[in-house]
Structure 1
């Protein structure tokens, strides 16, 4: 029986008293919180007793979700939580003087905190956290700050492999005012960027890594891969099928008068595809996509077919021998296939540009 009571005491009573001593009173907590607002503490002064030293701030990030990736604006919107740690020597206390308190919450605006900002923010940035957010401070001065924020950052788009493309985006943090000689940002290391990720329907995160820059900046990089299933069946497959119809324009008899109409319809179809891609891909993207180049080539090809068809109709109406020429009938298909193959080879050569 005594052993059971002892076990219950160790597992429940001792953890409950973890941050407060057994003799902690409300007055002890109030006195400790008042230290941040006393004349001896100034939140505008770096929390170092020796102001010539460099204050090290460790930075980590937890990514919750990719909210949106506006490709036309080249802006990435993410939901994140920062993990910020530093040593506040001016706020440390002796536990015995405050009823054994080992740690306490302070309002984030009552104590010094690093002036972090997102260097590659898409919009103007106003700072992290809110008035209701608190920081956790231990008796030895270790401070932990966990602001949750929705960030909108710039992300350059590389569209050559669209829609099978990968994009690299980053969140670049540094101090707004302090030079490296006064404040240095450090990464948590390999675990600097953690994922508590909610699946995005358009983009998948393939890898993450952290880079420390000099002077005193930390960059979190995200490798994003487009989920191409939608584009595969609604864009790529229709383009290929319509392209395969092009040589068969020359199978339509000249005397029917439908050959130029069929060719014109194919030309307009490729124009619509090109217009749809133009809406998705930003105007200032780094180079044209292979899909756009292919469509441009097919537009040129179908435009050439329209021209040839109109010339043939003109000849057919003016000269009777054209209609009876067996050579022209057999040459139509071979000419169309030859031109089609030449255009495809020309488009493939664009990959080397």
Structure 2
């Protein structure tokens, strides 16, 4: 820099300060800058702006430029003494693309129009509005955004609030234009109305309105999220619309551009205090999701709530699987609220036909194996959506009830099996254990309550009967193998009267029939043998009779016949008695032979008694099952 002569050698001029260039190609002296800027509207720079000597002190972002003589920038003044780094003016001492300056946090380009650049100039601000960024020159593709001042808004037919600079090149020239015109701002009546009616001097949301004591409700269940009959819990998606009147929120439409309805946050108005009853969600703190409220010029306020309600149910398991469940989703009003159901749907959701009202109080609902209806009711400052549903029994009929019925029927086989078979007890115990498993399966579907389902009580009764009859069956087996004769009264009552009542006939005939066919006891046989040996004349010895030889097959000799004739007629009667005894003896011997060979069963009185007792148990078991069904049904609740 020492080789350059000092600027003071040039009289009446500053060699560092080049005359300002204007957009129309003229120039202006420094002392004439203010006048020239007003005439030519704005200054510009050529090339990269190294020769720019204007007084712009703002960056493109609108930040103020820092002074060049600060300690952090003083080295540039010494290095580029010719660049006129004075005050905080925008300059380009180091050959960048355009003039720049230091700002807080770094450096930025300055908002200066290039003399030879083609672009869009500042379109100005809309009436009652602003624009951003605030630049003098916009290059091709740059965007500008327009906003309205507070209390104003864009008209419905207004151009977009954003515009882009578009440069178009033709054969003769290059032109630049904005993609749209300036938008139009108008008074924001909604903002003005909101500011007027919700001002602290006019409205206090802490106090209930004089007309807001009654809150009308219409609601419905959108969906059942989950249903747990074991724990008696239900989670539902609920939609509820509330409506009340607040005279402090009335206004005249003509004063606010015909505005009839506005929407405001629910935290800006008074709203009735509501609490979800029978709630089991521990995270629920008594609040509902925040929503907008609809306020009309008549002072009517409408609020719509959509939330997940986690509530408890009441299950009646007695008629399982035809059991039913009642799940009320209830909202309890505060002390300054009276809840009633709405007569019709207005305003909040006019197109939503699912809402339940006073005129449409119920609707069908289906969830999984449960189906029923949901009903809207309001009483005692409480509005309830009551879900009444019943289980579809088809699945449980096939998988739970049918096995129980089959096991009850299979128990009958215990009384049909032969008494002398040991498998009877084992079969009965197997059926009894199977009933225990069925009872566990049935109770596994239901909550633990004081009332057992009908089918469970019936299974318990059947198990008790099975256990009792198994003990009786053991006694019957013991009686079956007992020997001897019954007392006359027992033979008459059991083998005669009861046997006929049980469709077994008169069992005493079997005993008489057995006697007629040689069913004699051993004592009787011995007696007959003795008598035969004594009275039989002409026999060689008693062995002939014992061996079953009939003496009539050997005719007597002539001497024997003369002896018989001399002793007749007394001897003739003895011979007839002997013949009868021999026939009885022959039948007894045949019966004993068959008994010893296993071809026929010896029928005893105790054996027949066991058959009668077994048939009694069968009839009592079947009758007990049929009697237990209505008794359990009516007395089990």
Is TM-score (shorter-chain normalized) higher than 0.5? yes
Q: Does 1:291 align with 2:445?
A: no
Q: Distance in 1 between matches of 2:463 and 2:454?
A: 14
1:33–1:24 distance in 2 versus 1, CA, 3 Å: farther
> Secondary structure of the residue that 1:30 maps to in structure 2?
helix
Match of 2:469 among 305, 316, 330: 305
Structure 1 or 2: more helix by fraction: 1
Q: Deviations over 1:261-316 (max 9, x none)?
A: 2111211121112112222222225x222111101111112222333344456667
Structure 2 stretches lacking a partner, 5+ long: 1-154, 158-183, 344-355, 485-600
Q: Does 1:88 align with 2:249?
A: no
Q: Distance in 1 between matches of 2:405 and 2:217?
A: 49
Q: Distance in 1 between matches of 2:271 and 2:613?
A: 80
- Aligned equivalent of 2:207: 45
- Aligned equivalent of 1:126: 285
Q: Does 1:164 align with 2:322?
A: yes
- Aligned equivalent of 1:13: none
Q: Distance in 2 between matches of 1:197 and 1:344?
A: 37
> Secondary structure of the residue that 1:113 maps to in structure 2?
coil
Q: Which has the higher contact order (CA 8 A, sep 6+)?
A: 1
> Secondary structure of the residue that 1:141 maps to in structure 2?
strand
1:315–1:327 distance in 2 versus 1, CA, 3 Å: closer
Q: Does 1:235 align with 2:411?
A: no
Match of 1:108 among 258, 266, 270: 266
CA contact (8 A) 1:21 1:99 kept: no
Q: Deviations over 1:181-216 (max 9, x none)?
A: x32111125724767766312211246252422xx2
Correspondence list, 1:58-77, <5 A = 58-77=216-235
- Aligned equivalent of 2:33: none
1:200–1:35 distance in 2 versus 1, CA, 3 Å: farther
Q: Distance in 2 between matches of 1:323 and 1:25?
A: 120
Task: Count residues in correspondence.
Answer: 321
CA contact (8 A) 2:221 2:237 kept: yes
Structure 1 stretches lacking a partner, 5+ long: 1-19
1:283–1:85 distance in 2 versus 1, CA, 3 Å: same
- Aligned equivalent of 1:3: none
Correspondence list, 1:1-353, <5 A = 25=186, 27-34=188-195, 38-40=199-201, 41-46=203-208, 48=209, 50=210, 55-124=213-282, 125-127=284-286, 129-131=288-290, 133-175=291-333, 178-179=334-335, 182-189=336-343, 191-192=357-358, 199-206=366-373, 208-213=375-380, 216-285=381-450, 287-312=451-476, 325-329=607-611, 331-353=613-635
1:25–1:72 distance in 2 versus 1, CA, 3 Å: farther
Q: Distance in 1 between matches of 2:618 and 2:320?
A: 29
Q: Distance in 2 between matches of 1:121 and 1:44?
A: 27
Larger Rg: 2
For the aligned residues, what is the CA RMSD? Answer: 3.2
Q: Deviations over 1:115-161 (max 9, x none)?
A: 11122223354345423x21222222211111111112222222222
Shift of 1:86: 0.9
Q: Distance in 2 between matches of 1:54 and 1:30?
A: 25
CA contact (8 A) 1:136 1:143 kept: yes
Shift of 1:345: 1.0
The TM-score normalised by the length of structure 1 is: 0.78
Q: Distance in 1 between matches of 2:471 and 2:264?
A: 77
Q: Distance in 2 between matches of 1:239 and 1:106?
A: 62
Shift of 1:333: 4.4
Q: Distance in 2 between matches of 1:77 and 1:323?
A: 73
